[in-house]
Amino acid sequence: MSPIARSLAALVAAAALCAGVRIAGAQPASDVPTATLVAPRWSVAVDVGDFEPDLDSFELFYGDDKMTAWAVGFAYAFRPWLEAGGEIGRGHADGVGILTGQGVPGGQVDYTLWPAQAFVKVRGLFRPGQLFVPYVGVGLATAYYEERIDGQQKRTGTSELGAGARVGLEVYLNRLDADTHGGYGDGPVKQTYVYLEWRRFSTEQTGAELGGEQWLLGLKFGFGRDGAASRAR
């Protein structure tokens, strides 16, 4: 099974789990809390973690099979359980290339990737103030790349449009500390989540796969109405 097929299988399993939890968590109409389930419409997120490119030889040339990556993104919630958004990230590695004509590693190469993704996320959010919120998402992916090769002209470009998927778990910090956003006073941040996310995306450029797998830890800040948080208390 290819990495992408494995990832899709994991994604489907996670989606099924998420949907199952939703069904199991559904309550009779009479038991539904009087509080309305709402969430801030807009949110921004910033995360950092590892990016493992889908290149078998990456470690040979860059000394590690992973590179440190970060990303920033935003999302809009059509429903508390349905979000769409976009993000841009960065991964960078210093290493060597192949000495053409000799076929051995050599030369200095700085490889920088700026992945950009647009996504739709389904969140397992069932009640106001829910502590753990699992989610799955799918979307489109592309990447801007830059290869600086010592003594040669820099190479830059953009990869083809590909696909991406993600699974994660958000922890609602306002629930752990109701004043999490209190430090902002009457500021715009109403909800704060910390999240752990597994992500995979695939995008090619002239047959080379630039995507890979990411594990990211991040913070997500919700802006605007605070219905879920205030009613949960």
Partner 1 sequence: MACLLATPAALGNVAAADDLVVPRDFSDIQQAITRARVGDRVIVEPGAYQDNLRMRSGVDVIGVETARVILRARNPANALVTFDTVTGSALLGLTLDGGTLGVQVVGSNGVTIANDVLDGVAGTAVLVDSFSTVVVRNVTFANNAVAIERGTATAPVIGNIFFGNARTIVAADGATDNRANVTFNCYFRNADANPAFGVGFQLGDPLFVEPDAGDFHLRQGSACIDIGGGTDAIDASVADAGAYGGASADADPFPVGKPAANANGSAAIDVTWPANLDYHVTSSVVPGSYRLYYALNDAEPPLDGTDAGGGTQPSPIAVGNVTAFTLANLTPTVAAPGVPQLLSAEPRQNAAVLSWTAVAGATAYRVGYGAGSVDDNRIDVGAVTTLTLGGLVDGTLYRFAVTARAQAQYSIAVTALDNTPSRHESALSALTLAPLGDVVAGARSNELTAIPGPTTPVPNLPDEGCFIATSAFGSARRAEVAILRDFRDRFLLPTRPGRALVAAYYRASPALSRKLDARPAWKPWVRAALAPAVGAALVAVSSNAVEKAALAGLLAALAAVRVRRRRERAREEAR
State residue 3 phi and psi, 5-degree precision.
Answer: -55, -40
Q: Which is nearer to partner 1, 107 or 224 (CB)?
A: 107
Nearest to 126 by CA among 27, 11, 229: 27
**Residue 205 binds partner 1, judged by CB under 8 A:** yes
* Position 61 contacts partner 1 (CB under 8 A): yes
Select from 40-48, 54-62, 163-171, 212-220 the region that touches partner 1 (CB under 8 A).
54-62
Q: Tokens 């996504």 belong to which residue?
A: 119
Is 37 one of the binding residues for partner 1 (CB under 8 A)?
Answer: no
Q: Examine residue 86 and tell whether it contacts partner 1 (CB under 8 A).
A: no
Q: CB under 8 A: which stretch of 11-19, 92-100, 126-134, 217-225 binds partner 1?
A: 92-100
CB count in 10 Å sphere of residue 92: 16
Considering only 28-36, 141-149, 183-191, 223-231, which stretch makes contact with partner 1 by CB under 8 A?
A: 141-149
Which of 44, 50, 74, 106 is in the footprint of partner 1 by CB under 8 A? 106
Task: Say if residues 148 and 110 touch (Cβ distance below 8 Å).
Answer: yes
Under rule CB under 8 A, residue 99 binds partner 1:
yes
Collect all residues with Cβ–Cβ distance below 8 Å to 25 and sequence separation of at least 6.
Answer: 124, 126, 127
Cα–Cα separations (whole angstroms), residue 225 to 24, 62, 187: 28, 46, 11
Of 31 and 56, nearer to partner 1 (C-beta) is 56
What minimum distance in Å lies between the beta carbon of 129 and partner 1? 35
For residues 30 and 102, which CB has a smaller minimum distance to partner 1 in the complex? 102
Taking CB under 8 A as the criterion, the residue among 42, 74, 144, 215 binding partner 1 is: 144
1/38 Cα distance (integer angstroms): 40
Choose between 10 and 55: whose C-beta lies nearer to partner 1.
55
Encoded tokens for 187: 């500021």
d(CA 164, CA 54): 13
* Interface with partner 1 (CB under 8 A), residue from 67, 210, 229, 232: 210
Between the CA of residue 172 and those of 47, 131, 148, what are the distances in Å?
A: 16, 5, 41
The DSSP symbol for 22 reads H
Structure-token match 């389904």, residue found: 122
114 lies in the binding site for partner 1 (CB under 8 A): yes
Would you count residue 208 as binding partner 1 (CB under 8 A)?
Answer: yes
Q: Distance between CA 113 and CA 86 in Å, rounded?
A: 17
**Residues within the interface to partner 1 (CB under 8 A):** 55, 57-58, 61-62, 88, 95-102, 106-109, 111, 114, 116, 144-147, 149-158, 205-206, 208-210
